[in-house]
Structure 1
Amino acid sequence: MKVRIMGEEYTLRTEASQEHTKAVADHVDKTIKAILNGSATMETQKAAILAALQITDDLFRERMAMEELTADIKQLAADIRPLLPPAKRGEDLGAA
């Protein structure tokens, strides 16, 4: 599939859908353009590196938020489990 980033065409091989691939390319393109708009003299290559850093930072922050949410859900499940009837707790009743 072909995508366009900063006026350049790139041919990509991917198992992702065309819609997904286009959305990713559009996001990269918009991020680079936003960085370039903030600086009249920045080279495109430097803007691309800064965009990669920004996108990676966003990814890491989302991963951390997901890990925190997962931990919160596990703790909530542990807090609720004793309040459930024994048959709904998911415990092995024969082991008691």
Structure 2
Amino acid sequence: MIEPKSVVKVRIMGEEYTLRTEASPEHTRLVAEHVDRTIRTILSGSSTMETHKAAILAALQLTDELFRERSAIDGLTADLRQLASDIRPLLPPAKRGEEPGAA
């Protein structure tokens, strides 16, 4: 079920943004806080970096995190499918999810 869109105001690097989102306001605020924290961490490592460049580096870092998590999930999904395939023959026929009379 699609959640109704809500309007959430967040602050990133001292700037206020009004977002329309289907996510909960709490989730949206947590995401904005994570983005703000990531940009600030990058800026803390350099006294001369411009904010927009830090934002681009933060986007790259957050996208890297996303891709690594997706890859980990894909690996776990493959492992679970293999485990289910390995276990299926050990189950009684009624629990294998097979059609009656199927071999």
Does 2:72 align with 1:65?
A: yes
CA distance in 2, matches of 1:81, 1:46: 52
Structure 1 residue 2 and structure 2 residue 19: aligned? no
Structure in which a larger fraction of residues adopt helix: 1
Q: Taking structure 1 as the reference length, what is the TM-score of the superposition?
A: 0.96
Q: Across the two proteins, how many residue pairs are aligned to each other?
A: 96
Superposition deviation, residue 92 in structure 1: 1.4
Structure 1 gap ranges (5+)? none
1:56 lines up with 2:63 in the alignment: yes
Distance 2:23 2:92 in 1: 44
2: CA distance between counterparts of 1:46 and 1:53?
11
Give matches, 1:1-96, under 5 Å: 1-96=8-103
2:101 aligns to what SS in structure 1? helix
Where is the strand percentage greater, Structure 1 or Structure 2? 2
- Identical amino acids, percent of aligned pairs: 77
**TM-align CA RMSD:** 0.8
Q: Displacement of 1:45 after TM fit?
A: 0.2
- Deviation digits for residues 18-48 of structure 1, max 9, x if unmatched? 1000000000000000000011110000000
Deviation at 1:94, TM superposition (A): 2.2
Unaligned 5+ runs, structure 2: 1-7
Following TM superposition, where does structure 1 have runs of at least 4 consecutive aligned residues deviating by more than 2 angstroms? 93-96
